[in-house]
Structure formats: C-alpha cells, structure tokens
Chains A and B, each alone.
Chain A
Amino acid sequence: MKTNDVILKTTSHVVFFIIFLFSIHVFLAGHFAPGGGFVGGLLTSSAIVLLLLVYDLKTVQKLLPINYTIMTASGLVLALGTASIGMFLGKPFFKHYFDHFYLPLIGDTELHTAMLFDTGVYLVVVGVTLTIIQSIGGDD
C-alpha cells in the first residue's frame, strides 16, 4: 500500500533549503570561524540524503543530475591545481596567496587561494559521501 507522507514531503521542502544554506554559510565562514570544506560538504550531502529519504533514488537523480564520481575527481584536480600554483611561479609546493579586493555590493574582501583548496575538499566530501550512499542504497 502506498503510504501518504505529505507532512514529511512538505517539511523536507523547507528544511532542505535551510540545511543547504547553512552548509554554504559554514563552508564560507571556515577561515575566521569554525567550519570549512569538510563540515560544509557533510552538511550538503546530509541535505541530499534527506531528499533521498523522502523521495526515491531515481527522482533525486532526475532532480540533481550529478555524476558524483566526476565530482570527486574534479575536487581532487582542483585541490592539486591550487597546491601547485606556487610551483609554476618558482615558489614551494602549497604556497598560498591572498590579497584584498574591492567587490561590488560586498566591499573590501580578503580573497585567499586556500578557499580554492577548500572548494576541492568540499567537492570530494560531497562526491564520496553520496557515491557511498547511492551505491549502498541502489541495488534493486
């Protein structure tokens, strides 16, 4: 019998966006506050796991057509590429750069290449977590 779970579905529509925005906040705040790529990635994948709990695997794959293996690989490439910027400029491996920039609407912002490395970590964490969960949950 198909059960009627409209309460769970309606709540998950709201809660998914709260968790996703909070994960982006934790990810961006990682330099000056607790947080960073790992926690942000885990929060994002938990938001997608909530969607996987409410709907089934095919619906979520249609909703977010992402190949998580390629996501993991591109995260690794991004982290390695950020680490090797310094090598091409005659500096040691993993040399990071930062500077202050004036962005419209935000104002004076400190941009750092460690953020690109953190984006790589984020992509790897989301990709690995969802690859594990989809391959465990999807054998039917």
Chain B
Amino acid sequence: MNVNPIIEWVGVLLILGGSLMSLISAFGLLRLPDVYTRSHAATKSSTLAVLLSLLGAFLYFWAHEGYISVRLILGIVFVFLTAPVAGHLITRAAYRSGVELSESSDDDELEDVLFPEGRNKGS
C-alpha cells in the first residue's frame, strides 16, 4: 500500500472521531444538570471535535491533492486559542449574574469572595 492512501485513511478516521466527539458533546449539553457542567461539556469536547475534523481535512487534502492548507492550520490554532476563553467568559458571566449551581454540587468556594452578603442580594 502506498503512503498516501494510509494518510488519507488517517484523515478519514480523524474526521469520524471528531464527529463522534461532537455527538458526545451534544449529549452532554442535553443530559447535564446546570450551566457550569453544560459549559464543561460544550467547551472541551466540541473544541476537540473541531480540532480533529480540521486536522483530518488538512491530512486528507495533503495526501489527496498535495495541497498544504495554511488556512486549516491557522483555523486549528485559532479555535484552540479562542474556544476555551469563550467558555470561560460565558461561565463567568453566568456566575456573576447569579445563576444557581445544581442541587448535587455542594462546594462553592467563590461565593464568599464574590458575594460576601449573600447571593442575589449583593451587586
């Protein structure tokens, strides 16, 4: 077997893994109880899904057409940089506007720091 079909198959399997990962992320969005755990599911696994799909597309075009796409590398770097920051900002905005944690979580260390006179009264 030539080298190029092997690299193409690696790309195909990476895209399959990326789509499975985004499916898992969507299930996490549906099944998890509150904003914070949902943000955990939506940020991490869908970032990895996008990265795997882009890497698979990059490998496929490299092996199949001999074309090294700089835009795909740039997209990988860009999503890897920005998606966790977006998740951080959304979660922080949710916490600061007083969204409750789910019933099953019992430890909230930030509450004494951010809301010293009790939640939903201060700021």
Residues of A with Cβ closer than 8 Å to B?
A: 1, 3, 7-8, 11, 14-15, 18, 22
B77 touches A8 (CB 8 A): no
Q: Which bucket holds chain B's interface residue count?
A: 10 to 19
A18 touches B74 (CB 8 A): yes
Number of A-B contacts (CB under 8 A): 19
Which chain A residues border B123 with CB–CB below 8 Å? 1
Among B71, B78, B89, B96, the residue within 8 A (CB) of A15 is B78
SS class, residues of chain A in contact with chain B: helix
B74 touches A8 (CB 8 A): no
CB closest chain-B residue, reference A18: B78
Cβ-based interface call for B81 (8 A)? yes
B85 touches A8 (CB 8 A): yes
Within 8 A of A (CB), among B67-91: 71, 74, 77-78, 81-82, 85, 88-89
Kindly state the separation between the CA atoms of A23 and B78 in the bound complex, as whole angstroms. Answer: 14
